[in-house]
Amino acid sequence: MTTHRTKVLIIGGGPAGYTAGIYAARANLQPILVQGMQPGGQLMITTEVENYPGFAQAVQGPDLMEQMRQQAEHVGTTLVYDVITSVDFTQRPFVAKADSGDEFVADTVIIATGAQARWLGVAGEQEFQGAGVSACATCDGFFFRGKEVAVIGGGNTALEEALYLTHHASKVTLIHRRDAFRGEKILHDRVFANPKIEVLWNHKVDRVLGKGGAADGGFDLNNPKQVTGLALSDTVTGEGRELPLDGVFVAIGHDPATAIFKGHVEMDDEGYVITAPDSTRTNVPGVFAAGDVKDKVFRQAVTAAGMGCMAALEAERFLGGH
């Protein structure tokens, strides 16, 4: 077991974590960043990113994260390939223990562990991620201009995604396994009033259909993977049907990666870390939270990076005052 000591411990290696590392390192705070299970975060499972500032041409999600990782390391962030399994925020310096057995002792902590989209868990879904299957309309809707897409879900997220996609797609089919939406009535009204949206009640997805890849005899440059539709079944009658589509947006919620922080920092009912207004400060002085771990509204790489910057600056000010 090795004990690592640092002024700033960053837990999580996505846009928020790497940006926090860049700012903390440039402030000469010698941060340590523990990258977690999925270094790079959710962008590692995306393909083209067109909405991150500074890239005139679309950049691949993994390439963008590799650039951030290299930048953080280049300016002086120590990157550790490990997973934090427990924390003690009862007194400073704070202590975090890792899966390897190593211990991290830190004057401040930035939580940047992100969130994961919930998936349906049906055949074809994972295979066609980035080839027509997405969990972020704001990220990927642009690629479906003039095409027909489906949104899966019945809560506020699904309704908002469906409405957003009408700016790009020619038709949006909103598929819900029940006969009534959850969420806010104002969104229901907007959905029902939009001529581009068709609601398909009492249906569930059995399989994502597509061509190319394993579903069509293996990868072929001339036959790239692409969603072609959904296999559905009626939740009342059990009757099956196929719906031809160009894209599928799964909108059944996100889960913040905050299990190890439960009982250590204040969270809401969904497990998102609560921070002070216009700040990344948690209820524990010296502990900050940035990115999708605290943001259930925007969930964008650029907003996560901005919060990573905020967290590093706030950590620097905290250390200056102590």
Out of 82, 88, 99, 136, which one is annotated catalytic? 136
- Is residue 140 flagged as an active site residue? yes
Which stretches does DSSP call E strand in 161-256? 171-175, 197-200, 203-211, 226-234, 240-244, 247-250, 254-256
For residue 63, report the phi and psi dihedrals to the nearest 5 degrees: -65, -40
Q: Is 129 within 8 Å of 208 (Cβ atoms)?
A: no
CA-CA distance, 109 to 107, in Å (whole number)? 7
Q: Which residue has 């399989």 as its token pair?
A: 207
- Is residue 309 flagged as an active site residue? no
Out of 82, 107, 140, 295, which one is annotated catalytic? 140
CA angle 285, 288, 289 (to 5 degrees): 145
Out of 107, 139, 292, 295, which one is annotated catalytic? 139
Q: Is 144 within 8 Å of 165 (Cβ atoms)?
A: yes
Chain-centroid distance, C-alpha 268 = 18
Query: Which residues are identified as catalytic?
Result: 136, 139-140
